[in-house]
Structure 1
Amino acid sequence: MTASAIMTPLGIAALKAREGVRLGAYRDSVGVPTIGYGHTKGVRLGQRITQAEADALFLEDLASHALPILSCIAVPVAEHERDALISIAFNIGVGGFRASGFLRRLNAGDRAGAAEAILAWRRPPEILSRRQAEYDQFRTPYAVALPRARRDDARPVAVPRSPDRAPPATAVRPGPLARLRQRIGEALRA
């Protein structure tokens, strides 16, 4: 399954902007050796990677976080909501996502309560602006406002240029539930 089948190109751009990229290993805010766009598996301090390797690790991490969480969302979600949820899961982990109050509220049909529960994930303190941006992304369709990496960023994330992926203006796109079912089906066949 491709990354664009999991998240929109705009969602991927927002997630990459939130994570930032570092080609040299470092300790994250809780001391875990990290490299690339937040990759932690098998990282050794002193390790260096190329941008291409960072991108490949990002795609692996995206699939390992997105596919498990998509299967536990029991209600239809719009693209901006799905992108925000995957961004949160990328940061808090699949286990944290599955146990979260925002997932329980979302699956109960309480979108407003789910959005508010997103803001409960505020540790470490420097994550709050990111979490607020994910809250905004979850609540706001892309046609209304583009997402920001952090709420206090001066500009939204740039729309990725990919004219070969854009559907013709006259094309009819399936609804969010149909697209989610299609993605889950593709993941199960892969």
Structure 2
Amino acid sequence: MSWKITPNIAAELIAHEGIVREAYKDSVGVWTWSVGVTSASGHKVWPRYVDNPQTLKRCFEVFEWLVRNKYLPPVKRAFAGHILSEAQLGAALSFHYNTGGIERASWVKKWKEGDVAGARQAIMNWSRPPEIIPRRRKEQALFFNGVWSNDGFGTEYGVRKPAYTPDWSSARRVQIKETLDELFGP
């Protein structure tokens, strides 16, 4: 495995996260943009994207940079000495993007030791809050069975102003596959 972020892997993460093309304040007031990108990533979000929506391509370029530089290295360390399929890498990246816990997750240790049944069960230990359970089940199905859940679409949200919070009622499905293929190759 080349540890490459493919269009399929990017689509899987984006489908779990959602897209907001301009800066908004997350649930704890942190300025966020694109697919969960904050200034803590090293890419300045505020004030760059306030009232300044970007193309899907630009959103995904920065998202891919973030995943490649901040999330892929811990996944590589966690699975050092083991070969992952594209699906397994996608599931591991999705898990880590959501939890930040790939290097301390018991399911990874169990899998590396050959306890696949134990690993399959242990990934579900990361199921709080309960709203995350559907995502965790999709990551479980992807890692252990190679079943992708993305369909080439993502959910995009607008920004409610003047509060600059996500407008959840504006949710709309947008085609992301073509943009991802353009960025990463089909």
Q: Please classify the TM superposition score into its range, dividing by the shorter chain length.
A: 0.5 to 0.7
CA distance in structure 2 between the partners assigned to 1:77 and 1:97 by the alignment: 14
Structure 2 counterparts to residues 125-140 of structure 1, below 5 A: 125-140=130-145
Report the counterpart of residue 87 of structure 1 in structure 2.
94
* Letter in structure 2 aligned against 1:89: H
Deviation digits for residues 126-148 of structure 1, max 9, x if unmatched?
2221111111111222xxx4x11
Report the counterpart of residue 65 of structure 1 in structure 2.
71
CA distance in structure 1 between the partners assigned to 2:28 and 2:124 by the alignment: 19
Structure 2 counterparts to residues 12-23 of structure 1, below 5 A: 12-23=10-21
Answer yes or no: is the 8 Å Cα contact 2:91–2:140 preserved in 1.
yes
Report the counterpart of residue 22 of structure 2 in structure 1.
24
Amino-acid identity (%): 30
Report the counterpart of residue 32 of structure 2 in structure 1.
34
Report the counterpart of residue 9 of structure 2 in structure 1.
11
Answer yes or no: is the 8 Å Cα contact 2:23–2:33 preserved in 1.
yes
| Alpha-carbon RMSD | 3.0
Q: Which moved more, 1:156-165 or 1:63-72?
A: 156-165
CA distance in structure 1 between the partners assigned to 2:152 and 2:129 by the alignment: 23
Answer yes or no: is the 8 Å Cα contact 2:3–2:89 preserved in 1.
no
Select 1:78's aligned residue among 81, 85, 88.
85
Deviation digits for residues 4-41 of structure 1, max 9, x if unmatched?
95233222211111111101223435554321011122
Structure possessing the higher relative contact order (Cα contacts under 8 Å, 6 or more residues apart): 2
Once the two structures are TM-superposed, the CA of residue 76 in structure 1 deviates from its matched residue by: 2.4
Select 1:44's aligned residue among 43, 46, 69.
46
Per the alignment, in what secondary structure is the counterpart of residue 24 of structure 2? strand
Counterpart check, 1:56 vs 2:61: yes
For structure 2, the residue ranges without an aligned partner over 5 or more in a row are 154-175
Aligned length: 151
**TM-score under structure 2 normalisation?**
0.67
CA distance in structure 1 between the partners assigned to 2:31 and 2:129 by the alignment: 16
**TM-score under structure 1 normalisation?**
0.66
